[in-house]
Structure 1
Amino acid sequence: MPEVHFQRLQPKHFSLIRAVAELGQLSLAAQALSITQPAASRMLGDIERLVDAPIFVRTPKGMEATAVGLALARRARTLLEEMDEAIREVDAIKRGLTGTVRAGAVTGGAVGFIVPAIQALKVEAASADIHVDVASSDALIGDLLSGQLDFALGRIPAGIDARQFDILDARVEEVNLLVHESHPLADANDLSPADIVHFAWVMQAPGAPVRQAVEAVFIESGVQIPSNIVNTTSLLVMIAMLASSNAIAPMSREVSDLLCGGTGTGLCKLDIRVPIVVAPYHLITVKRKQMTPVAARLRDLVMQELHGGRPVPIGPVKA
């Protein structure tokens, strides 16, 4: 078989070979391919000239494949299926329905907005490979700049030039104080900072935004900052401490709603008089970074969650 001629076979030729082999009639194959029978007959002749061998022979029962025809029909099925799969894969990539995305977030942002966005994306793109890092804003910004994350929900740390980022929207982080339901203050109402200062605390290290917000409430109320503190960034350590002691732990509203929403953790929120609010976090991307379609799609879904489920146009926050 002259290779140069064989390489001139086109997808339409393989489609005809497969159709005739499966249907057994040239007229039926032509109909399936939406071409006329004379056109199908001419194409079959072209194929046989290219491969320099008969592909089908006519019998009383219809078109019967020769040994060469059987081999080509078998290859045609595989080739056309691979082509169809390639088309589907390219289309999925273009529409953001496959590929890898790496997102990062502070804890409240991850629970409140990244998780719902992932659930929505998985409905559209079950095969999308999604990675989520939950960390402090310092770590998130470092990973953004090194290219390890596509986007993040976090804050721009002091000393970092914000001009190198696109900052998309903002979300104020509200904080609740969690205790075990057996805590002496679990059923108390209208608690002041003075009522809670003497208990053990478990929270992030000094300088963390949630920690700063809690300390600000004590300072503004003229009450000494708690001294009995276990420092940790681990949510599991916080939960374990709450379950085994009378400690108090500050957590974002999204996380506290999850833990106190009938999940069997035995945790509840304290009724405090003074609200605790952390500085806003933002959806942050590195300027001019080219996102894959699936990463852009997840980012858009996160933005939609930030706006209460409403689709929103994407654009940087104006300074």
Structure 2
Amino acid sequence: MALPLHHLKMTHLRLLAHLAETRRITAAADLIGVSQPTASRLIVEIEDILGQPIHERSGRGIALTVVGDALARRARRILTELQEATVEVSGLVSGDSGHLRLGSVTAPALGLMLPALRTLRLTHPNITADVTVAPSALLCQELRAGRLDLVLGRPSEPRDHEEFVTLPLDTEPVALLVRQNHPLAGKRDLVLPELMRFDWVMPADTSPLGMAMARAFRDHGMPPPRQSLTTASFLLTLTMVRQTNAIAPLARAVTDIFAGPEGGYATLDSPLQIDVGSYGLMTRQGQARTPALNRLIDQIVGQVPL
């Protein structure tokens, strides 16, 4: 039996999508700009149209039924498509302004994204941007949901290769950062035992950098270094290195900015050859690109050595 889904309104779809995210009627109501009683009435309307429940009470929130969850996934896709249609049509009207929602892992954020945005700001001052710096897995989730227009990062799961278009850009070599007056700063031809005498600030073992570090030490037949701190926080890493004799592996794009007399940091002449691997410019399959986004992509790609 065909269900009369054509009776669903845009407000119904928006509420469904936010219910799947928040699992709370009040929170979903706030996100679509209606009161909680109105949201409850909309849920009743949806259930009347479907002829079956879409939610059930669960603790202090709600849980979507199988039917509700399936419809919420479709609602999110529909809303994303409509959002992209709006972007595409708006881009046809004007190519000199627009707002870009961007994501990047740390190294290309500093080495490619910020220089590209700085140039774009000079040539097209009415183009604005939000930049999220986070691990690739989180950025891919946001790109898939339509909350980001572009990501500089890596596919994090098999379906990313099917759902995203990835333009390879560069690799991410790693350097070892220390404070400027570190006992090993400036010394040449360091050997691993010298490095292992010090504490390290290390990324999580499961992160791309953590796995690259593990491979590098295995290649030298060495166990992982002792460490005083494991963190994904860039600020915490810099602070720990600045205040102690700890060693931190960071992308060379990062260390090149902070190392030197004015930055207060130095890089070590390390025997370790560490590379996190390649990253690329990622967009959704079939995504509508505005002129503003294309201009940014041209700026980013133009910085990559041939």
TM over 0.5: yes
- In structure 1, the partner of 2:53 is none
* One-letter amino acid of the counterpart of residue 193, structure 1: L
Q: Distance in 2 between matches of 1:95 and 1:281?
A: 31
- In structure 2, the partner of 1:302 is 300
Select which of 247, 253, 267 maps to 1:269. 267
Q: 1:94 to 1:253 in 2, by over 3 A?
A: farther
Q: Distance in 2 between matches of 1:276 and 1:140?
A: 24
Tell me how far 1:95 sits from its aligned partner: 6.1
- In structure 2, the partner of 1:162 is 161
1:117 aligns with 2:98: no
Select which of 271, 283, 286 maps to 2:284. 286
Q: Distance in 1 between matches of 2:91 and 2:125?
A: 11
- In structure 2, the partner of 1:192 is 191
Tell me how far 1:191 sits from its aligned partner: 1.9
Deviation per CA, 1:151-199: give whole Å up to 9, x if none: 1110111444411111112311010000001211112212233321231
1:290 is paired with a residue whose SS is: coil
Q: Distance in 2 between matches of 1:163 and 1:91?
A: 27
Deviation per CA, 1:216-251: give whole Å up to 9, x if none: 111110111013241222211111101110111111
1:234 aligns with 2:233: yes
Q: 1:116 to 1:95 in 2, by over 3 A?
A: farther
- In structure 2, the partner of 1:138 is 137
In the TM superposition, structure 1's runs of 4+ consecutive aligned residues that sit over 6 Å from their partners are: 90-93
Structure with max Cα Rg? 1
Q: Distance in 1 between matches of 2:94 and 2:131?
A: 21
Using the size of structure 2 for normalisation, the TM-score is 0.67
| Residues 193 and 218 in structure 1, CA contact (< 8 A), matched pair in contact too | no
Deviation per CA, 1:25-79: give whole Å up to 9, x if none: xxxxxxxxxxxxxxxxxxxxxxxxxxxxxxxxxxxxxxxxxxxxxxxxxxxxxxx
Tell me how far 1:306 sits from its aligned partner: 2.0
2:277 is paired with a residue whose SS is: strand
1:103 is paired with a residue whose SS is: strand
Aligned residues: percent identity? 34
Q: 1:208 to 1:128 in 2, by over 3 A?
A: same
Q: Distance in 2 between matches of 1:93 and 1:101?
A: 16
- In structure 2, the partner of 1:104 is 103
- In structure 2, the partner of 1:173 is 172
- In structure 2, the partner of 1:209 is 208
Q: 1:91 to 1:208 in 2, by over 3 A?
A: closer
- In structure 1, the partner of 2:182 is 183
Q: 1:157 to 1:93 in 2, by over 3 A?
A: same
1:187 is paired with a residue whose SS is: coil
| Residues 187 and 269 in structure 2, CA contact (< 8 A), matched pair in contact too | yes
Q: 1:208 to 1:91 in 2, by over 3 A?
A: closer
Structure 1 stretches of 5 or more lacking a match? 1-89, 309-319
Q: Distance in 2 between matches of 1:183 and 1:293?
A: 48
* One-letter amino acid of the counterpart of residue 215, structure 1: A
1:116 is paired with a residue whose SS is: helix
Q: Distance in 2 between matches of 1:142 and 1:229?
A: 31
Q: Distance in 2 between matches of 1:295 and 1:303?
A: 12
2:198 is paired with a residue whose SS is: coil
Structure 2 stretches of 5 or more lacking a match? 1-88
Q: Distance in 2 between matches of 1:97 and 1:204?
A: 41
| Residues 193 and 217 in structure 1, CA contact (< 8 A), matched pair in contact too | no
2:142 is paired with a residue whose SS is: helix
| Residues 138 and 157 in structure 1, CA contact (< 8 A), matched pair in contact too | yes
Q: Distance in 1 between matches of 2:145 and 2:134?
A: 15
Tell me how far 1:301 sits from its aligned partner: 1.2
- In structure 1, the partner of 2:220 is 221
Residue pairs, 1:54-69, within 5 angstroms? none
* One-letter amino acid of the counterpart of residue 255, structure 1: V
* One-letter amino acid of the counterpart of residue 265, structure 1: G
Using the size of structure 1 for normalisation, the TM-score is 0.64
Q: Distance in 2 between matches of 1:228 and 1:261?
A: 25
| Residues 166 and 284 in structure 1, CA contact (< 8 A), matched pair in contact too | yes
1:183 is paired with a residue whose SS is: coil
Question: What is the number of residues matched between the two proteins?
Answer: 218
Tell me how far 1:260 sits from its aligned partner: 1.2
